[in-house]
Structure formats: structure tokens, C-alpha cells
Amino acid sequence: MSGEDHSIEYRIVRSDGEIRWISSRGRRHPGEFGHPDNLMGVSTDVTDRKRAEQELRMLDIAREVQQQLLPRSNRAFPALDLAAACVPAWELGGDFYDFLPYGNGRLALALGDVSGKGTAAALLAALTIGILRAHSVDHPCAPEQLLATLNERLNAARLNALFVAMVFAAFDSNARQITIANAGNPYPLLVRKGRIEEIPLTGIPLGLMPDTKYEPVSLDLHSGDALVFVSDGILECQSSKHEAFGTERLAAVLTSLPSAASAEGISSAILSATDVFSGQASAQHDDPSLIVLRVTEDSPADPSRSSLGH
């Protein structure tokens, strides 16, 4: 109707092909002699706002994809108590973890950290998980071979300087032995009878260099032993004084816990300690992610009891 306030948003394509968004607000007036009504008012270029809204929608979609790819919370495996966490930082990142059936009485686990932030990192995490799951189902192999295969696949994808730090391990419940290979993730920590031992296992992150070889280490585990795998987001968590949480503080948390602490209890203690250390005064820039594996007294005789949902 004549005299009412109206607003409209529309896009225009410039001669150079660039798309701009325009918002027009004003009062509609009737045209003369049968001509269309005129909108008299102010037009504003709102391209930056529209782009920001689109980026937020894309981030929400990528964040949902990232969370959907993580395993469900109901995990069970003979002779193991398991816990894991991936807490998204204020920026969308590419941390992930996974648990995979790996043959008779065997369980594989992976903890990964994609370089960079945003949608690209989250999508690379999704790609890595997809390749990992497909390959482990059809071709379960030694951890060092699995990392080498992933590295070749990611190098072939030409991912514009993005890479993935990842630790991959396979636990044999019958032998109570775990074999670990590492591609640039922090050292795993073995907790045994109140003592902490770093497992010095290094390797080049996935996607950086083709034809990379990885070295494994195998550990015989005993009832009560715990293995802790963390991402950089744990060790590099910063206090208000810009100090890093670091391995020493992580070890202090682990030694302070009772010997019978569950995997979930260990995981919660680590995350609580980093929260207290950071004071949550400022948002952290990297995802704190971890996996805790604790050997129990359970009999490993029946692998069919395992429940690993995705």
C-alpha cells in the first residue's frame, strides 16, 4: 500500500563478475499514470554481512558433520576400559578420534589433529576418517602400514599445505599387547603403578611428504595399566600468563589420581585440570582431545562382547 515502509535485499552482478548484495529500505510511493510504485529511501551495500552469514552457516554444517563422525559414547571391548573426548575450541577445528574393530580380539584406535581451522580442517578430518574406516575394514594391517597408506592417500589429494598429525594403535586383547605408530602427535603416556613413562615415538604428519615410513613400538600391558593419548590442544592449553599446560603438568595430574581411577575418571581429571589452568579467561585456539585406554581384569576370551558403535 502507498506510504508504507518496505525493505528488500537483492544481489547484483558487476561487470567483473563480482556479486554484491544490496539492501534497500524506504517508503513505497505510487507511480504516476499507471507506472509501477517507487521505493524512495536508502540503499546500502550489505555484501560483507551476507558473506559472514554464509560463513556461519557453513561452519554450523561442518561442525555438525564433525560431531556426527565421532563414535557414539557406548563403547565396550574385552579387557579394556575406554574413554575419549573431543571438545571443540572457539574456532572450528579438525580434531577427531575413532575406535575400530580390527580382527579377532583386536581393537584399533586413532587420535588425529588436522592443521588449520575452519571448514577446510573439518572436511579434511572427515576425509581422513572415511579413508581410515574404509581401509581398516577391508585391509586391517599393522599401524605403521596403515599410517603409510593414509599418508599416500592424503598426498595424492593435494590438500594445499594442510596436514594431519595422528597416532594409530592396535590392541590385541588375547596377548594384552598394543602396537602404536605415530605421525606427529604428542608422545603417548603409559601410567603404570603410579609412575609415568613417555613413549618416545615420532613421525612426519600425514599429507606432508610422500613415501614416508613409520616406526612402530609394541608394549605388553598389565591389568591396571593406562595409556593416555592427547592432542596438542591439551599440552598447548594456555593460562592467562600465556604459559603452556605442558607434559609435566599432565604427568602431575596422572600421578595424583588413585590407581583404580577409571578411564572416564582420568579423562575428566585431565580436562578439568586444563580448564582450571586456563581459567577459561580466554577462548582456546586448539581443540583439547584425548583417548584413555585402561587395562582391566575382564577376560578377553569372548570378542563378541565388544560394542563399537559409529
Tens digit of each residue's pLDDT (9 = 90 or more) over 79-94: 899 999 987 665 666 7
What is the three-class DSSP state of 240? coil
Report pLDDT for 301: 46
Residue 195 has pLDDT above 80, yes or no: yes
Among the four given CATH numbers 3.40.430.10, 3.60.15.10, 3.60.40.10, 3.55.40.10, the one describing domain 72-308: 3.60.40.10
Q: Give the C-alpha separation, 94 to 135, whole Å.
A: 20
Q: What is the mean pLDDT of the segment spanning 25-54?
A: 68
Report pLDDT for 292: 97
Question: How many CB atoms are closer than 10 A to CB 242?
Answer: 7
The set of cell numbers assigned to 13 is 552482478
Residue 284 has pLDDT above 70, yes or no: no
For residues 286 and 300, the model is more confident at 286
292 close to 109: Cβ distance less than 8 angstroms: no
Residue 255 has pLDDT above 70, yes or no: yes
CATH 2.10.70, the chain: domain bounds: 5-45
CATH 3.60.40.10, the chain: domain bounds: 72-308
230 by Cβ neighbours in 10 Å (0-12 / 13-18 / 19+) ranks as buried
For residues 224 and 63, the model is more confident at 224
For residues 307 and 248, the model is more confident at 248
Report pLDDT for 297: 78
For residues 192 and 304, the model is more confident at 192
Residue 61 has pLDDT above 70, yes or no: no
41 close to 67: Cβ distance less than 8 angstroms: no
One-character DSSP codes across 82-141:
EEEEE---SS---EEEEEEE-STTEEEEEEEEESS-HHHHHHHHHHHHHHHHHHHHH---
For residues 290 and 51, the model is more confident at 290
Q: What is the mean pLDDT of the segment spanning 120-146?
A: 87
Report pLDDT for 33: 57
For residues 76 and 109, the model is more confident at 109
Return the CATH architecture of domain 5-45: Ribbon (2.10)
Task: Identify the residue whose cell numbers are 509501477.
Answer: 36
Handedness of CA 300, 303, 304, 310 (dihedral sign): positive
pLDDT band at 20 (very low <50, low <70, confident <90, very high): confident
Residue 55 backbone zone (phi > 0: left; psi -120 to 50: alpha; other: beta): alpha
One-letter identity of residue 195: R
Lowest-confidence pick of 33-47, 104-118, 261-275, 279-293: 33-47
DSSP state of 17: S
Residue 104 has pLDDT above 60, yes or no: yes
Q: What is the mean pLDDT of the segment spanning 294-310?
A: 61
Lowest-confidence pick of 101-105, 217-221, 304-308: 304-308
Lowest-confidence pick of 121-130, 221-230, 284-293: 284-293
Residue 308 has pLDDT above 60, yes or no: no
Helix-strand-coil percent breakdown of the chain, rounded to 5?
A: 30, 30, 35
**Across the chain, what does the average pLDDT equal?**
83
pLDDT band at 228 (very low <50, low <70, confident <90, very high): very high
